[in-house]
Amino acid sequence: MVNLQQLRQLLAEGVPPGRGDEDSVRRQWWAALATLQEDLLLPGPSPKGLWLAAPLPALYEPRLLLRLQGWVWAPPGMDKLLPASAALLPSSRGATAAPGASFQRLPLRDADGTDPLLVLITPRLQVALALEGPPEARRLLVRFDAAVLASALQLLDRRLDHDDPAGAARLRTGLQALGCLENDPDLALRFWPLLAERLATMAPSVTLQPIASRPHSRPASPGAASERPGNGNSAELALLEALTHEVRTPLATIRTLIRSLLRRSELTPLVRQRLEQIDGECSEQIDRFGLIFLAAELQRQPGSGQALTAQELARTDLSQLLEQMQELWQRQLARRGLQLQLAITPDLPPVLSDPSRLETMLGGLMDRFSRGLPSGSLVQLSLQPAGSRLKLQLGSQNPKGDSSRGEPSQAPPPASTAAAGTNAERVGPVLSWNPCTGSLQLSRQATRQLFHRLGGRLTERGGSHLTVFFPLAEAGP
């Protein structure tokens, strides 16, 4: 049976080796989709045509989705990956589309890989896009040449004939109905400058680097613990990685546009305040989805349950790191009507960790803890010695308290923390969803595993306290 990896290899023939990393090619992919749809297709009359994609629907413009007939090869676990994801694809029960859907869903197989691809055929524009290549040698493939596209359609026809013979017949009929296909000979000359313009205005979509490089293949880890995801979770994790990339990229673009507006001097104070709020929310969500991506990536790596060795970690001044983040956290919490109280014991020794990644993890921990607190609560963050470790603790109080006693009262457990408790629904191997608040967060297990990877040990008590213990670094010479 034909697999989609063969299609990527076909598109890569004659193309120079890639030199990009995962983050850069994902930005290129999003910019290419925007260029294709917003600059080349939508300005003209509504086109008719066909498209085939994996592992997510690459097209997003409603006018195109209503006019074009499509097929999407998607992981079988998509229905249960996210509670709100059911609207993204038709039902997984067979290959027939749901009422009103503009494309059909087909099963993605292990040999297909998870890199995104799209083949789009209209009378005046035919193109194939894909991401391909090993880590640190990734590339965006864009092919307009008729011979390559004809071979790609032959491969897709054979694959579709295996998965859904009736769908393959509709594909052939649809291609015949398009009549003579002509690509604008200047299409490539127009496409690449437009793509470059979009990339020039896009901010980086990823604010943290993976803890370890992604291996080209991910063999199952022998003797993995029972809580580690098995082969059945591989498709869910791959899809989760793709979703987080696609969410962060437009958010980063929005943030770039907002910051360009903030440089203008004629803004009123109210408009400036609103733009700064949008900028802050975008940054928080970019970081939050970055952590979700990191957790999914870590789950798919052999030996991911092991902490980094002392040689891989570094002496980290945790006190200084917290003081540097204090102002940012205060601004973030203030947008939710919360206050921050930071208490650090003086002259604390350094710990062993990774300061660059730890900063993002601590930001995620603060977000996870505070997201469900009622307005007016006081978030208390303390750092103090605890034997051979330093103890970082998060707690919360309601400063209004009991007026008769003049004492602060304990705030209810935060909903974000409760997501790991009895009210939470586990969504895949790394996420928890609280149906009462609609909050989607890293699961307790995934959060613990990420901190363990960075040398810390996370404990939770009753949903109202989070504690992370960090090992002390050995004294220098």
For tokens 């910019």, the residue is: 31
Q: Is residue 306 part of a domain?
A: no
Beta-carbon neighbour count of residue 123 at 10 Å?
A: 15
Residue 465's pLDDT band, with cuts at 50, 70 and 90, is confident
Same domain assignment for residues 196 and 247: no
Q: Is residue 205 part of a domain?
A: no
Same domain assignment for residues 108 and 240: no
Same domain assignment for residues 460 and 319: yes
What is the per-residue DSSP string for 323-338?
A: HHHHHHHHHHHHTTT-
The lowest-confidence range among 85-99, 239-253, 375-389, 413-427 is: 85-99
Q: Is residue 308 part of a domain?
A: no
β-strand partners of 389:
386, 471
Cα dihedral value 75, 77, 81, 86, nearest 10: 80
Same domain assignment for residues 40 and 122: yes
Q: Which residue has the higher pLDDT, 379 or 282?
A: 379
Same domain assignment for residues 95 and 47: yes
Of 157, 177, 200, the position where a domain reaches its end is: 200
Q: Is residue 89 part of a domain?
A: yes
Strand order in the sheet with 126-132: 103-107, 68-74, 49-54, 117-121, 126-132, 139-143
Q: Is residue 208 part of a domain?
A: no
- Contact indicator for 473, 316 with CB cutoff of 8 Å: yes
pLDDT at 204 over 50: no
- For the segment 308-327, what is each residue's pLDDT rounded down to a tens digit? 665 568 888 999 999 988 98
Q: Domain limits at 434?
A: 314-471
Q: Is residue 218 part of a domain?
A: no
- For the segment 331-345, what is each residue's pLDDT rounded down to a tens digit? 888 888 899 999 999
What is the DSSP secondary structure assignment for residue 18, as one 8-state letter? P
Query: Coil, strand or helix: which one is 231?
Result: helix
Given this model, what pLDDT does residue 209 score? 36
Q: Is residue 285 part of a domain?
A: yes
Given this model, what pLDDT does residue 234 score? 64
pLDDT at 89 over 90: no
- Tell me how far apart the alpha carbons of residues 219 and 171 are, in angstroms, rounded to a whole number: 35
pLDDT at 291 over 70: yes
Same domain assignment for residues 270 and 388: no
Q: Which residue has the higher pLDDT, 306 or 134?
A: 134
Amino acid letter, residue 82 = L
pLDDT at 49 over 50: yes
Same domain assignment for residues 293 and 348: no
What is the DSSP secondary structure assignment for residue 36, as one 8-state letter? I
What is the per-residue DSSP string for 301-325?
A: STTTTSPPPTTTSEEE-HHHHHHHH
- Tell me how far apart the alpha carbons of residues 276 and 332 are, in angstroms, rounded to a whole number: 11
- For the segment 368-426, what is each residue's pLDDT rounded down to a tens digit? 888 778 889 999 999 999 988 999 999 998 755 543 333 334 444 443 333 334 456 77
Q: Which residue has the higher pLDDT, 17 or 80?
A: 17
Cβ burial of 356 (10 Å; 0-12, 13-18, 19+) is exposed
Backbone angles phi, psi at 402, to 5 degrees: -95, 110
Percentage of the chain modeled with pLDDT above 90: 28
Same domain assignment for residues 243 and 170: no
Given this model, what pLDDT does residue 309 score? 60
The per-residue pLDDT of the chain, averaged, comes to 77
